Amino acid sequence: MTDTTSPSSTGVSAWWRALSIFLALVVLLGWALGASMYEQFKAQIHHLEAKLVEIPQVREVAVLLDDAQAPAMLMTYDPKNQKLQVQRLNDVKEGREQALHVWALTEGDAPRMLGVLTNKYKTQQLEVPAQALEGAQSLAISVENKDNGPRDGKPRQPLLFKGWLVQKAI
């Protein structure tokens, strides 16, 4: 008797081979893309960490109030750059022959002058060493004559604006 059945095929179809090669390439490209994105992400994190070090870190904040208890000045201190930033919150302007003097106040101690605001811009910066604010509980501003300013390290005029110096939690 003769066998009329065809021999069974033991090979893999060409379609399965093409599909497996295609899927292997997709997995390889996915891995390469993932590795590339991971490296870019790491580079971005390092860039942002370096940038964060350069950003001023405000540690002390004071809102100086006027006689009506309305905000008059906002002061922030960056100890890294040793800058006191003063921002006017009201429209009070000193005269031509006057200047604003910034003071650090400590209970039981004489006021310490931190600097003079020489122009009438909304925001200014003063260079203030960290030691000048050491122990200060509040900040104040007096309006003094440009030519005949404070003597003996004390304001000649009454304090116009005053506010507590608050240490900000980081």
Report d(CA 133, CA 127) in Å as an integer: 12
Instruction: Indicate the DSSP class of residue 148.
Output: S
Q: Is 61 helix (H, G, I), strand (E, B) or coil?
A: strand
pTM: 0.64
Query: In the chain, pLDDT over 90 holds for what percent of residues?
Result: 19
Weakest-pLDDT range from 45-49, 106-110, 146-150: 146-150
How does pLDDT run across 91-110, given as a tens digit for each residue? 777 777 778 888 888 887 88
List the domain boundaries for the chain. 12-55, 60-167
Cα separation, 129 vs 133, in Å, equals 7
pLDDT at position 36, please? Answer: 95
- H helices present in the chain, as ranges: 14-54, 130-133
β-pair partners for 133: none
Range with top average pLDDT, 37-46, 51-60, 67-76, 152-161 = 37-46
Average pLDDT, the chain: 83
d(CA 92, CA 98) in angstroms, rounded, equals 12
- Residues constituting the chain: 170
Q: Looking at the domain that runs over 60-167, which CATH code has it been given?
A: 2.60.40
Give the mean model confidence (pLDDT) for residues 1-20.
73
**Using 50, 70 and 90 to split pLDDT, how confident is the model at 5?**
low
- Whether residue 8 is predicted with pLDDT greater than 80 in this model: the reply is no
CA distance 119 to 93: 10
